[in-house]
Chain A
């Protein structure tokens, strides 16, 4: 004993050093145990029994305890334990039922000391008494536990667990006389070493075998148990009945459990199958391991903390024939890797967001598991209110909406339901849709509809008030800008359209014309940047983009070499224009002179003077009627549709496409149209707007889209004779071997359109039946039924 205390003293001042490392063993390990000096580790297995020195950089083999020529079964170890008070004393549990003690102080090569051959089957576990040098406990597959005094030749006492097999035994660290044992049947027993007749206490801890247990090094009453049910449970043994304090759910059966030194709530586990990793859990956070060691390639069989007061060094042995030292700081931490937030954009523009609650908030404001009382929460455990939730995380889940009221996609639903897409004259459709858009506060869209109507409908049909309104708006927005371009920026020598044979005096009409197109663009701009400064610059950019059209309109600058100049800048890149073109001073001036209004304002009030819009009206009248085909605008309209689609408003793109039909369809490539259609239909279906979706499919001009309505309709046909379902595709019924669907008039098989009376189910070729019914209202089959066809 003197010697030992000296070692302790020497150790007291030393600091453990080392790194994460491993060494290869000759054979798979079954168990490991650390010497009390924390400098040596013993590895035991079926065919290995060695002591390694743990050096700073590596493991160094110090002693091979398997000596002798023929391997004895006594050396096939299931467990090994190094005495925590005597560094020369070890005990092993052999698979043949023998308990062996080893004295490293023996001078001979063979260190074997004593042999106890009392158990009948494999000894699963051996355990020294924490303070008593001579007391050894064993637990065996035969269901018995034995206590040995190493000064005697045989056991002092035998404890019968009244059960098949003992998986683990462990002396309590604090209670001198107490030990715990765990059993294959799920029970845990508590024994007083002085009373072998019966256990002090027994309870069922797990569903299935309890493979391991470990007393908490500090808390006298805490016992951790691990079982095949993949759970680790922490029991408070101080109370009259063992009370479950914590339950950790791992992903595989728990083979070993070891409390982490100096960390009250941490314990390490490893599994005996499937999972090769070692986990360190905070028992208060039972679902996510605090740390994970992934070094082993096969099942980990033994784990041991290197020093009873050091939380950072963990040693492990594995079936992969390796011995490892793990450093806690090198462990991977699944908690850190775990995503603490969930985010989802909902259909209606609402946002579901789950985030970790701050721990402070969790502690003060937490009502544990209140809430949904409609549904009981199973698996729910009462948490100890005295225990702070330091390691426990929780999340709050909120659903946000973008705007009070209907949600930000509400407009989509309303618009879809209320738009008129067909069945009325174009002008009416446009007006209706403009009205719908306006009522929903979508001014830009409303204005677009109005402009479309002006472009494509003869103004003579337009109620003047309405037109005034829209034209007024248009002029208010676009006129000044256009003027500035018209007068200053025209470059001679560019192409024009020869068929526009107009005089110079028509400049005014140019203005009107461009005015309307510019308004389209203006609106679009506004949609993006309403209320900001951007539209001013942006407008200029856009108008610049339309320069080509300005040139086209100019009859005076016909270029002889390019009589049919096509627009050189199709689908002009709007955005670059913005950057490249600084607003000219004249332009700004013009703007200042005229009321520049953003789209939404313009929509509510017509700011233009009455007389000006009147004059515009009359000019445009003449213009449309006589010269300018709506085709002229198709490029603009096309760009407008593309713009809306790009803004995510595919609804507008498709609606305009349907309403305008052939007027615009040829200008947009088939594929894009299809894509818009399918996108829109998909959206409509998500919002469960089946009717609208159907209508859109029906009205679509794209063949691929319109065939959507013909898909997934199944027609079930029964034989007209035996009334059984027709299974084959032919004309003959499988069962009665007669031809089904015979024409009642000509008695031939109908191989096309078959019409039949729903009353008597006789029928035939459409034409034959029609002809028959002209002469008689009775069934042609002669069944006497007065047939009715609708």
Chain B
């Protein structure tokens, strides 16, 4: 029953320094990486290949994170950097170019995340200056900027949007009118908190919730994709080595309860949900990725761990993987 987690592709990125983020696009065919060496690279990873498509230069400091926009807006990638800038790159006629540069932050920009496509092109950026800015594309190359100042004291490390869910039935909507979504996202920061933000009717962003459980910097937050689930789920990880799963069952979205997934011995850097939101991948300071799944009794169980050795991978047994299918 055990399944091997195997390496299908070791990408030679030729990055000259540490890689800080790797993101696959909507269709799972392209991989964007970013590194301390100030570059962003895009690889075609179809069929286990690794063809460098683009080497994007424009940042003047380490690039922390990249994010793909929904393909309905074209091939668009956002990147954020230590140089306090956010750059939006776009592929036009086969070549990638910088289409917008946002320099509205006073310190390193640590995280970028595109809103669900239903809202249009909106990018949330979290910075070490404690602010979160929201860039909205208003057409013809123009971006409107909204800023939440002092979102997190000392700095914001991660932002993650809630999936687009419409309050109330669509049937009630007058035909032809766009459904009114409630836009929400989560952010994690150096104040050890996860904060949930909601757009008010007047277009202003307001803090809706404060989730408190971590005892050190929150490193990553990931709002689970909503696939057939009425509940909202957020995963968070922190410098304190703990990973929490936050769930909210009530319709008003105000009562969140944390469940400790695991306490690791080292910093936990990333959490990432599988596409159907039933497996959580966690990567920690020990160079290890573990996969977690909620068991029938509501406990989170490690179903696999992936050790990253020197290029090759020692795979371990994954129980119950087949049932995934």
Q: Which residues of A contact B226 (CB under 8 A)?
A: 675, 679
A649:B52 contact, CB within 8 angstroms: no
Q: Which residues of A contact B183 (CB under 8 A)?
A: none
**In the docked arrangement, what's the CA distance between A350 and B7, Å?**
9
Stretch in contact with the other chain, from B119-127, B140-148, B266-274:
B266-274
Render B86-100 as a binary contact track against A, CB cut-off 8 A, 1 for contact.
Answer: 000000000000000
Interface of B with A (CB < 8 Å)? 1, 3-24, 26-28, 31, 33-39, 45, 48, 50-52, 55, 57, 60-62, 64, 82-84, 108, 165-166, 168-171, 173, 175, 179, 219, 226-230, 269-279, 281, 283, 285, 287, 289, 291, 295-298, 304, 306, 308, 310-311, 313, 318-325
**In the docked arrangement, what's the CA distance between A402 and B311, Å?**
17
Known interface pairs A342-B21, A354-B19. Does A402 touch B9 (Cβ–Cβ under 8 Å)? no
New contact pairs (19) apart from A404-B6, A645-B228, CB-CB < 8 Å: A288-B18, A288-B62, A339-B219, A339-B269, A340-B18, A342-B22, A344-B22, A345-B279, A354-B20, A356-B287, A358-B310, A380-B16, A397-B33, A399-B48, A402-B5, A403-B321, A528-B296, A648-B227, A650-B276
Q: Which residues of A contact B24 (CB under 8 A)?
A: 344-347, 350, 352
Interface flag for A468 (CB, 8 Å): no
Among residues of A, the one whose C-beta sits closest to the C-beta of B158 is A339
Q: Which residues of B contact A688 (CB under 8 A)?
A: 27
**In the docked arrangement, what's the CA distance between A529 and B55, Å?**
45
Q: Which residues of B contact A648 (CB under 8 A)?
A: 227-228, 274, 276-278
B82 to chain A, nearest CB (A): 7
Chain B interface, >50% SS class: loop
CB<8 Å pairs between A and B, sample of 13: A287-B62, A288-B18, A338-B62, A339-B20, A342-B23, A342-B270, A372-B12, A394-B17, A398-B311, A399-B10, A402-B304, A649-B276, A672-B230
Among residues of B, the one whose C-beta sits closest to the C-beta of A287 is B36
A409:B18 contact, CB within 8 angstroms: no
Q: Which residues of B contact A352 (CB under 8 A)?
A: 22-24, 31
Render A318-357 as a binary contact track against B, CB cut-off 8 A, 1 for contact.
Answer: 0000000000000000100011111111111111111111
B52:A528 contact, CB within 8 angstroms: no
B7:A400 contact, CB within 8 angstroms: yes
Q: Which residues of B contact A674 (CB under 8 A)?
A: 166, 169-170
B272:A345 contact, CB within 8 angstroms: yes
Interface residues in A674-724 by Cβ distance below 8 A to B read: 674-676, 679-680, 683, 686-688, 702-704, 707
From A350, A374, A644, give the contact of B8 (CB < 8 A).
A350
Q: Which residues of A contact B12 (CB under 8 A)?
A: 370-372
Stretch in contact with the other chain, from A530-538, A548-556, A745-753:
A530-538
Known interface pairs A285-B17, A369-B14. Does A399 touch B7 (Cβ–Cβ under 8 Å)? yes
Interface flag for A251 (CB, 8 Å): yes
Q: Which residues of A contact B26 (CB under 8 A)?
A: 347, 686
From A339, A375, A645, give the contact of B227 (CB < 8 A).
A645
Q: Which residues of A contact B296 (CB under 8 A)?
A: 525, 528-529, 534, 538, 574-575, 578
**In the docked arrangement, what's the CA distance between A302 and B120, Å?**
48
Among residues of A, the one whose C-beta sits closest to the C-beta of B82 is A334
B229:A408 contact, CB within 8 angstroms: no
Among residues of B, the one whose C-beta sits closest to the C-beta of A356 is B18
Q: Which residues of B contact A736 (CB under 8 A)?
A: none
B20:A342 contact, CB within 8 angstroms: yes
Interface flag for A632 (CB, 8 Å): no
B14:A343 contact, CB within 8 angstroms: no
A400:B5 contact, CB within 8 angstroms: yes
Interface flag for A230 (CB, 8 Å): yes
Q: Which residues of A contact B1 (CB under 8 A)?
A: 530-531
B181 to chain A, nearest CB (A): 12
From A408, A646, A653, give the contact of B324 (CB < 8 A).
A408
Q: Which residues of B contact A578 (CB under 8 A)?
A: 296-297
Q: Which residues of A contact B35 (CB under 8 A)?
A: 287, 395
B92 to chain A, nearest CB (A): 19
Q: Which residues of A contact B34 (CB under 8 A)?
A: 342
A70 to chain B, nearest CB (A): 41
Interface flag for A396 (CB, 8 Å): yes
A287:B61 contact, CB within 8 angstroms: yes
**In the docked arrangement, what's the CA distance between A704 and B175, Å?**
9
From B37, B39, B168, give the contact of A671 (CB < 8 A).
B168
